[in-house]
Amino acid sequence: MDLQEFLHMNEGDGELSYSQNSFVQKGVSLMGQPMLESAIQSIITEVKSPSKVIKVADMGCGVGPVPLAVVSLVIQNVQKKCKELKWEENEMPEIIVFLNDLPSNDFNLLFKELLKMELLKRKDGVPLCYLMTTPGSYYGRLFPKNVLHFVHANYSLHWLSQAPPGLYSEEGMPINKGNIYISKTSPKIVAKAYLAQFQQDLTKFLKCRSEEVYSKGRMLLTFRGRPVSSDASTWQPWELQILALAITHLVSQGLINESKLDAFDFPYYGASKDEIESIVQEEGSFKIENVNTTAQHVAHEMEDNVERAKIISKFTRSFTESLISRHFGEDVVELLYQKFTQLMCEHLSNGESAEHHNIIILLKRS
Ligand SMILES: C[S@@+](CC[C@H](N)C(=O)[O-])C[C@H]1O[C@@H](n2cnc3c(N)ncnc32)[C@H](O)[C@@H]1O
């Protein structure tokens, strides 16, 4: 399937929408906030000449609280640094934020939300900020050479450009039968195929951005990764493990054809910090300024497992539904996520983890 054509987070602002259910992504972006602030402030110091236009891109911006926070933080930090540098108000740089995502992202809602922001209204002492959309895949060129000062990508680069082709034999037969990602029952070659696709994609991303980011520009990238102690050949995120169990259940009920399950490979890779660092170093265009790993228990404030499972199910549905309904058909979606909620509740009741491991990395163009 051509992922770029139809992958999207759930649209709108209803109960099952991405914008109402991206609390995990918001939490991760908050963890990266100090690095974002230091990057913007360093950029303002380094561009030296006042009145320049600062160009920022949010790659895989999606919709909801994160792109809103990115726009506000950029404006606030440009303003703060200009004050510190005692630049006159008429010397304050103007800002352009390019909001990038695949064409099926809900850009209409994003702009409706953004245009309500007070900071975007013309006011004395606040730098003027212009917003633009740049639809398209960040695994290709999106901007002219040397234009960007800062690139931000929160929780987007663990999405692969495609399911790894190495998951099929030469005869075109699926080799990861019964699974939707790397699992304990996967042949060893499966983890290798996923890593190879991730290496290829991240390298392409870095190469494209190395053309577009100016000589001292920065990039702040956050990934949903895997814990340091994990075994790369078997580790899978708990959501995908439970999603696979729910699909298997529907197969056993005769509601999904087994061959459909065998042919579904989730286009995600949970990288380790070392894997990301070594890809950056090998590609060579960016230097690592800072890197941090964090962990986050999803919806841990909820004591009732039934309620917590419902929240986690809506969260998971908000970013997986477009792929699931496209591959398995819209008619099974409701049942599938009902089963997911039940299995999630059992998972939590057994004391199993619902943790996200994140890698936050700040890069400088070298
Ligand atoms: C989990 S969402 C993160 C959205 C937002 N950055 C946030 O933190 O809430 C991942 C986003 O990456 C986008 N995405 C995935 N692959 C992409 C690609 N190749 N090019 C551009 N955007 C992509 C998805 O459409 C989605 O909006």
Residue 122 pLDDT greater than 90, yes or no: no
Quickly state the pLDDT bin for 239 (edges 50, 70, 90): very high
pLDDT at 213: 96
Burial of 168 (0-12, 13-18, 19+ CB in 10 A): middle
* Rounded Cα–Cα distance for residues 243 and 329 (Å): 15
Looking at the predicted structure, is the pLDDT value of residue 50 above 70? no
> Could you tell me the CATH number of the domain that includes residue 63?
3.40.50.150
Residue with CA at minimum distance from ligand 1 atom 13: 60
Q: What is the pLDDT of residue 51?
A: 65
Number of domains in the chain: 1
Q: How many angstroms does the Cα of residue 154 sit away from the middle of ligand 1?
A: 8
Q: Which of 65-79, 115-129, 180-194, 230-244 has the lowest mean pLDDT?
A: 115-129
Expressed in angstroms and rounded, the spacing between residue 318 Cα and the centre of ligand 1 is 12
What atom in ligand 1 is closest to the CA of residue 138?
Answer: 20
Distances (CA, A) of 130 to 57, 75, 78, 112, 120: 12, 11, 14, 14, 8
Indicate if ligand 1 lies below 6 Å from the C-beta of 62. yes
- Tell me if 156 CB under 6 Å of ligand 1: yes
Q: What is the mean pLDDT of the chain?
A: 93
Looking at residue 96, what is its pLDDT? Answer: 97
Q: Report d(CA 308, CA 21) in Å as an integer.
A: 13
Q: For atom 27 of ligand 1, which residue has the closest CA?
A: 62
The model's pLDDT over 164-176, given as tens digits with 9 standing for 90+, comes to 999 999 888 999 9
> For atom 20 of ligand 1, which residue has the closest CA?
137
Pocket test for ligand 1, best of 10, 25, 98, 101 (most atoms within 8 A of CB): 101
Mean per-residue pLDDT for 280-306? 92
Tens-digit pLDDT profile for residues 53-68: 999 999 999 999 999 9
Give me the domain span that covers residue 59.
3-365
**Closest ligand 1 atom number to CA of residue 28:** 8
- In the structure, what pLDDT confidence band is assigned to residue 1 with cuts at 50, 70 and 90? low
Whether ligand 1 lies within 6 angstroms of the CB of 137 is answered as yes
Q: How far is the CA of 83 from the centre of ligand 1 (A)?
A: 34
pLDDT of residue 114: 94
